[in-house]
Amino acid sequence: MVRIHPSILSADFVNLERDLEKIATADGVHVDIMDAHFVPNLTFGLPMVQRIAEVTELPLDVHLMIDDPDTWAHQYAIDGVESVTFHAEATRDAVAIARELRARGTRAAIAVKPGTAVEQVLEHLPEFDMVLVMTVEPGFGGQAFMPEMMPKLRLLRGRADDLGIELALQVDGGITDDTLPIAAAAGADVFVAGSAVYGHPDPAGRIVALRESGMLSPGSLER
């Protein structure tokens, strides 16, 4: 299955409710939380996530690009939030965070930057519901897709299959009609798209087109 999660980082923050309505055909909303420490950009925090959850029926996919997720991640496990993603590079105890999120009824996800190996995630893979492989450096939208990240996806998908666990594999960064099939063929099934959706005059149509591009990829057909 191909799931499209548009990133509201590319939306109009002043007219956010309007822009959320434009992506009603999506499978979820990707909400980037940046603290200007872990990444050199600043977005918003929990109050905005709470408000977004009140004005959309789409499940929220919260991506924490923040320091100290051990302290803050569980606070985002609120009604309307389907999953909370925290970074492997920022945590002291990834397993403890994942277990706390699951205990609060939220899917637990862990993210890795381009320069981070996935071995530390592979060691505890059953503890997570999703792994996010960044296909750009986190912190800014509109960057170019990094195809050299595909071996990480293949390794993660292979290990999940060997363990017999259901694991979502998400990619974030540079997703377009051309790059989405590449990531899907490597094992990804959840795709974050920002400018590829909101940079188009018909965001809803773009979501459909992106989803169809992944369904036609060799990797999706095999699965």
Q: Which residues are catalytic?
A: 32, 172
Distances (CA, A) of 117 to 72, 110, 134, 154: 24, 13, 11, 13
The C-alpha angle with vertex 197 and arms to 14 and 27, in degrees rounded to 5, equals 95
The answer to whether residues 132 and 152 touch, using CB atoms and an 8 Å cutoff, is no
If we measure between CA atoms, which residue out of 203, 207, 208, 210 comes closest to residue 12? 203
- CA separation for the pair 18, 25 (Å, rounded): 14
* Token pair listed for 46: 């929990």
* Token pair listed for 133: 């492989």
